Amino acid sequence: MEYEGLCRDDLDNVRALNRVWLKLEGSAELRLSANRLERLAATPFLLFSFCENDDARWSCLLGERGQRDMLKQEAVASAERRQLQAAGLGFLWELARRNPYVTRIVSGAPLHWCEQIAASTLVRVLECARFSLIESRFADGSSLQRRLLGRGSALQREMRVFAQICALQSMLTSGQAAQYGRLPAAACRMSKTGRQVADEV
């Protein structure tokens, strides 16, 4: 099966969204120069998360109108965050409809989240932007975040790409495997069948 990969337009949108996120986070707190922030913004995935793995939250957000009462306690986002959230959700909605594979790469979202937002109307998805949804993709002070802020924004291209790809790999492989539990070793249970097939051949 062939998958269409990231295209230049997708990466440009990811970079633009990351740039706004980094400005919202504040370059003073991150203690990075403008050049380092720009290189960090070029990371090939979103540096912030829409809590894509929170099934209950997104079921309420995109569910029937009657379920919205559960969201009364949700924090309302500031104007700047609402704008970023609307732009990010609009981008991911369009991308999930066009290419869910790339949506999963740039957001680390599970397939069912991509299917859920793709099945919703754009208006319905953008309504979610009024709530505070986004957070930093990696925990503050974690080794992964420190590596991404340091080496992931470095001037040396090889070092920068290596750190960003390592962060991408970590994002795509952590958290998801735990949901599915340990898979049985199918080959261990097929010893008799294997022998029978071998005997017949």
pLDDT greater at residue 156 or residue 201: 156
pTM for the model stands at 0.79
Length of the chain: 201
How far are the Cα atoms of 20, 29, 42, 125 from residue 151, in angstroms, in the given order? 21, 17, 13, 35
Collapse the DSSP code of 145 into the 3-class scheme (helix H, G, I; strand E, B; otherwise coil) and give the result.
Answer: helix
The structural domains of the chain, with segments of one domain joined by +, span 8-197
What does the pLDDT look like over 1-46, one tens digit per residue?
Answer: 456 778 899 999 999 999 999 988 765 456 778 898 999 999 999 9
Point out which residues pair with 131 in neighbouring strands: 76
- The residue among 183 and 109 whose pLDDT is bigger is 109
Sign of the CA dihedral with 88 first, then 89, 92, and 97 last: negative
Evaluate whether 42 touches 6 at the Cβ level (below 8 Å).
Answer: no
Residue that is written with structure tokens 């932007």 in the block: 129
CA distance 192 to 104: 40
Q: Residue 151: how many CB atoms within 10 A of its CB?
A: 17
Q: Where are the alpha helices (DSSP H) in 63-156?
A: 79-98, 100-107, 111-119, 122-127, 143-150
- pLDDT score for 32: 79
**For the ranges 10-19, 48-57, 175-184, 189-198, which has the lowest average pLDDT?**
175-184
CB 105 within 8 A of CB 164: no
pLDDT digits (tens, 9 = 90+) for 180-189: 333 344 444 4
Distance CA 165, CA 45 (A): 9
Residue 91 near residue 17 (C-beta atoms within 8 A): yes
